[in-house]
Amino acid sequence: MPKHCFPGLLLMLLTSVTVLETQPAHVSLKPQKVQFQSRNFHNILHWQPGSSLTSNGSVYFVQYKTYGQRQWKDKNDCWGTTALFCDLTNETLDPYEPYYGRVMMAWAGSYSEWIRTPRFTPWWETKLDPPVVTITRVNASLRVRLRPPELPHRNQTGKNTSMENYYNLVYRVSIINNSLEKEQKAYEGTQRAVEIQGLIPHCSYCVVAEMYQPMFDRRSPRSKERCVQIP
């Protein structure tokens, strides 16, 4: 090979070595999008595999701590898990306390660094499911009862606490006349027992409801329709 070919070859080799040195294996293993997702104070840590991997053959290790604590705690149920989520509800029961979670990934004998969530405070960040709706027909009226979704917290008697223990909630109830394909708001307020009167005989009606948190300007999805025929 002519001598003038060697400098280019040497430069190419040096460049390849530099790239390898600046891209260590553990970088591509780092779990992605490590974050809490919370509904009704059920707090689940989620993540995705490292940028160059699928979940095949990889395992994950999860730790958590309260804000201000130095020591991380292992989540035994999620130590060496192959799942891409970990239920940390029981470890994050105080809705007003800020928490962190973190995840490390192992694959083919290599380990990533720990990837930490942003600070997570359940009271600020949990999302609401719609209220549970039951309806009872009384002549040409409907009695609607609304119940917030159950929470993981329990009171001293062992019963689940209500979302109303933590937030001021406004309920919005709408009624749909199926014959006219017309929907209108029937009630908005804080009461969980509502009576809808003045319904047209021989018509079919459906009721849907949602909850609203005025403090956060946040609302739940709409509930499933509950339907009844007025005789």
Domain with CATH 2.60.40.10 in the chain: 3-125, 132-229
- The whole-number pLDDT of residue 114 equals 96
Task: Please report where in the chains the tokens 């709706």 appear, as a residue.
Answer: 133
Q: Which CATH class is domain 132-229?
A: mainly beta
CATH superfamily of 3-125: Immunoglobulins (2.60.40.10)
- The whole-number pLDDT of residue 139 equals 87
- The whole-number pLDDT of residue 181 equals 82
pLDDT in tens, 139-172: 889 999 999 988 887 666 667 788 998 999 999 9
CA 188 to chain centroid: 27
- Report mean pLDDT in 10-residue bins for the chain, 231 residues: 40 33 57 96 94 73 96 97 96 96 92 96 95 93 94 72 91 92 93 94 95 94 94 87
- Single pTM value for the model: 0.80
The candidate with the shortest Cα–Cα distance to 46, out of 7, 81, 98, 93, is 81
Would you put residue 20 in left (φ > 0), alpha (ψ -120 to 50) or beta?
alpha
Kindly write down the DSSP assignment for every residue of 183-199, as one continuous string. Answer: EEEEEEES-SEEEE--P
Q: Give the Å distances, CA to CA, from 213 to 85, 149, 172, 210.
A: 28, 14, 11, 10
